[in-house]
Each structure stands twice: as structure tokens, then as C-alpha cells.
Amino acid sequence: MSNACGVDFGTSNSTVGWVRPGQPTMLQLEDGKPTLPSVVFFNADDDEVSYGRAALADYLAGYEGRLMRSLKSLLGTSLMEGQTEVAGRALPFRSLLSQFIGELKRRGEQAAGRSFDSVVLGRPVHFVDDDAAADQTAEDTLAGIARAVGFRHIAFQYEPIAAAFDYESQISREELVLIADIGGGTSDFSLVRLSPERAAKAERREDILATGGVHIGGTDFDKYLSLSAVMPLLGYGGQLLSGIEIPSSYYFNLATWHTINLAYTKKMQAQLAELVRDAREPDKLLRLQALIEERAGHWLAMQVEEAKIALSGADSTLLNLERLSPPTALDVPRTLFEQSISQLVNTVGQTVGGMLADAGLKPEQVDTIFFTGGSSGVGLLRERIGALAPGARKVEGDLFGSIGAGLALDAVRKFG
């Protein structure tokens, strides 16, 4: 058996895959599940660090501390070289990512009963849109972190290509497949020729007809649903007595997973106290102020995320905001959700359409669209992508495991 594994470090969830004869590829990382939510909680009460579902549970239980989520979104940004305050100490964001990826490696090795010295890491087609230098910096940063936590041999594979390798292990004839990987932070695509015979080849470059991607994913859908449905209750879009609109930065920070903690700074709270005095609707700003003082931004984001998931299969959902002051129950229709993300979905559709055109392919040449990634269940998005190749067979993979399984297969090819 190989000493190489595949690691899918995701915006929302992460996995570790390892090929072993006659056994599941995906290793169990928490509570018998193959996914570890990409979450870290620094518990100030007990001076402990928890990860994944345990981190979310500790936060929701009311322990004092800092919750950090969507860590992958830091890669390629200026924040990556910065730091945040945890329990009165400065914590570099690079160290934060190292802690989580080190924990991911440790849990994978514990589940496998052996150490891993080689890894194929998944990466989006673009960590950063339209900036090749920042994109390369993001990959280099991730490689450096992987090396620091103990991996000696490191390779990368595009996440949609990894998903293609997983799908290829399930087919019996050649297919031209559009892989649609809609994750928490990015939407990534590839057009690949797949077959059992091609799977035996070490070099697959000629089978990859095109790749494309855009920095839009599930956390963006969360953000725009929050801005449309919830943030107006807290004053978003309102005005001061002078007629000036209340700054939107407070609301964008609260609606964006990896910037929620920015709303908790003393500077932001002092500015907000001044705005309350000058607001035309001070009751909404007081509600926002109370939410921030309670550091309940992550709780609010979780409620919105649950609503998004529910609206992928229902016409409406009830958003229970019991921690707002006063408590509020909000009926959210799917139409509002779809309106809030329509521009994002159009951008994703244009990306896929452009990739097909660049490859010189007609829609009828695509045999299959293979959907993977936790956000590929959003109906409007699936419809938009499916309409670009209406005759193609639509297949749903393991939404959280296809990439990790494909990376594990690639690790065997690359490292033996």
C-alpha cells in the first residue's frame, strides 16, 4: 500500500483519501465521517483548540473564544501575510492554516494506521481570478505549509481533474465529460476524455481538453442570501439623518465567512456606536450592535447557510433568528434566494460557455455532466450549467468525496 495520500483542503469541508485494496478510499476523520469541516475554534475558557464539528459545537455551546472558518479563502490574499488576535496573542494566518492542515494530516494518519510522506493536494483552477502572480503565490504558500507539517513530496492537481479521475473509475466506455465542481469558495470545470483504457496511462495531459474556473462558490451564495434576506433587518441599505447611506462594510464583513471577525474589533464597535446616534432607524442599528457585542456573527452565518441548503430542495424555508433582539422568524422564499445569486450564476454559466467555446466543442459532443462539490445542489446553478449541454447525461457524484478519492488515485500514479 502507498505512503501517498490525496488531501482536499476545502473552503467548507476537507478530506483525506488513500488507495488501499478492497477498502474505502476516504479515511474517517471525525465521528466516523470522511469530512472534517474546515473550522477551528480557540476556546478561551479552557485554553484549548478544537476542529471541525467539535469546533462548531463548542462555539454554539457558548464558550468564549474565536471561531475561524473558510480558511482556504485566505490563500492568495494580502490577509495571508497578516495576523489575528486570539486570547490576547497575535496569531499569523499562515500558522492558523498550518494548524488545521497539520490536524488533517494527523487524523488521516491515525485512521490509516501509518504515516504519509507524499501528498497530492487539490487546488482550484484559479485560487485568485485574473491574477497569475497571486495564484502562484497561493499554491506556493500551500506547498510551504504542507512541507512544514511533515509532507516531504508534494504535488498538485486541479480539483475538477481529480473528480474526473474518480468518475473514470466507475465507467465502462469512453466519454467526453464536463466536470462541474461547485465548492465552498470556487466553481471549477474541466472537459476531459475518460475511459477505462485511458485510466491506465501515467500522463493524461492530452485527455484534458480545457479547464476553467471562477472564484464563486457556496460561501458567496451564503453572503448574497444574507445581504438580501437578513442584513436589511440590521440596517443594511438604511440611511443616516444626513441622508448618507449607512456604510455597507459592516454588513459585508458579517455576511462573509472569513471576515466576520473583523466586525468585532474595538474600532468597528466605536464607529457603530456613533452611527446608532445618527441613524434614521436606530432600532435596526441597535440590533446590529447587540449582535456584534455578543459575537454572534458566526451563528447568524450558520443560520443563513442552513437556509441556503434548505432552499436547494424547497420552495421556502423559515429562518429562525432567535438570537436577534427582538427574536425574529423570517420566511425566505426560494425566489428571493435565486434573485440574490442570479448574477453569480450567470458569471458561472459564462465561464462554462467560454470554456466550451475555447475547446472548439459543440454542446452535443458532451456525453456527461458530472456534478460534485457541496454547492452543486443549488438548483438554479445546475439548470444553468445543464442548459449549456442539454443532451448530456447528468450524473451526481459524491458531493464531498469525489475530489479526495480522485486525488488519492493520482497520488498512486505520481508516487507509487
DSSP string, 19-80: --TTS-SBPP-BTTBS-EESEEEEETTTTEEEEHHHHHHHHHTT-SEEEEE-GGGGTTSGGG
Q: Which residues contact 395 (CB under 8 A, 6 or more apart)?
A: 167, 368, 369, 370, 371
Do 42 and 166 belong together in one domain? yes
At residue 128, the pLDDT reads 87
Q: Is residue 372 part of a domain?
A: no
Do 284 and 409 belong together in one domain? no
Q: Is residue 194 part of a domain?
A: no
Kind and range of the H or E element at 357? helix 334-358
Q: What is the mean pLDDT of residues 295-301?
A: 94
At residue 336, the pLDDT reads 97
Q: What is the mean pLDDT of residues 381-391?
A: 96
Do 151 and 13 belong together in one domain? yes
Q: What is the mean pLDDT of residues 366-375?
A: 94
Amino acid identity at 274: E
Strands 36-37 and 13-17: antiparallel
Do 102 and 165 belong together in one domain? yes
At residue 115, the pLDDT reads 96
pLDDT band for position 318 (50/70/90)? Answer: very high
Domains held by the chain: number: 2
The answer to whether the beta carbons of residues 58 and 43 sit under 8 Å apart is yes
Q: Which residues contact 247 (CB under 8 A, 6 or more apart)?
A: 275
The answer to whether the beta carbons of residues 407 and 108 sit under 8 Å apart is no
Do 13 and 153 belong together in one domain? yes
Residue 136 sits in which domain range?
4-173+397-415
Question: Quick one: what percent of the chain has pLDDT higher than 90?
Answer: 81
Do 10 and 153 belong together in one domain? yes
Do 292 and 230 belong together in one domain? yes
Do 149 and 80 belong together in one domain? yes
Q: Per-residue pLDDT for 379 more than 90?
A: yes
Q: Per-residue pLDDT for 87 more than 80?
A: no
Do 63 and 141 belong together in one domain? yes
At residue 330, the pLDDT reads 95
Alpha-carbon gap, residue 403 to 122, rounded angstroms: 8
CA distances from 194 to 121, 201, 205, 225, 250 (A): 21, 11, 12, 37, 47
Q: Per-residue pLDDT for 151 more than 80?
A: yes
Residue whose C-alpha is closest to residue 319's, from 256, 226, 232, 254: 226
pLDDT digits over 220-255, tens only? 999 999 999 999 999 999 999 999 999 999 999 999
Q: Is residue 158 part of a domain?
A: yes
At residue 98, the pLDDT reads 96
pLDDT digits over 124-146, tens only? 988 988 899 999 999 999 999 99
Pick the last residue of a domain from 338, 362, 377. Answer: 338
At residue 104, the pLDDT reads 97
**Is the N-terminal amide bond of 92 cis, ω within 30° of 0?**
no
Q: Is residue 257 part of a domain?
A: yes
The DSSP bridge partners found for residue 328 are 321
Alpha-carbon gap, residue 45 to 64, rounded angstroms: 6
Query: Where is average pLDDT lowest: 201-210, 338-347, 378-387?
Result: 201-210
Domain containing residue 131: CATH number: 3.30.420.40
Q: What is the mean pLDDT of residues 114-118?
A: 96
The answer to whether the beta carbons of residues 9 and 38 sit under 8 Å apart is yes
Alpha-carbon gap, residue 56 to 63, rounded angstroms: 11
Q: Is residue 28 part of a domain?
A: yes
pLDDT band for position 261 (50/70/90)? Answer: confident
At residue 95, the pLDDT reads 94
Q: Is residue 345 part of a domain?
A: no
Residue 399 neighbours by CB distance under 10 Å: 19
Alpha-carbon gap, residue 351 to 276, rounded angstroms: 42
Pick the last residue of a domain from 304, 322, 338. Answer: 338
At residue 346, the pLDDT reads 97
Q: Which three cell numbers stand for residue 364?
A: 452535443
Do 130 and 249 belong together in one domain? no
Residue whose C-alpha is closest to residue 123's, from 112, 110, 109, 137: 137
Q: Per-residue pLDDT for 177 more than 90?
A: yes
Q: Is residue 375 part of a domain?
A: no
At residue 298, the pLDDT reads 93
Do 137 and 23 belong together in one domain? yes
Residue whose C-alpha is closest to residue 371's, from 386, 361, 360: 386
| Strands (E) located in 89-186 | 89-92, 118-123, 153-158, 175-182
At residue 258, the pLDDT reads 86
Q: Is residue 59 part of a domain?
A: yes
Pick the last residue of a domain from 294, 320, 338. Answer: 338
Do 58 and 167 belong together in one domain? yes
Average pLDDT, the chain: 93
Using DSSP's 3-state secondary structure scheme, residue 262 falls into helix
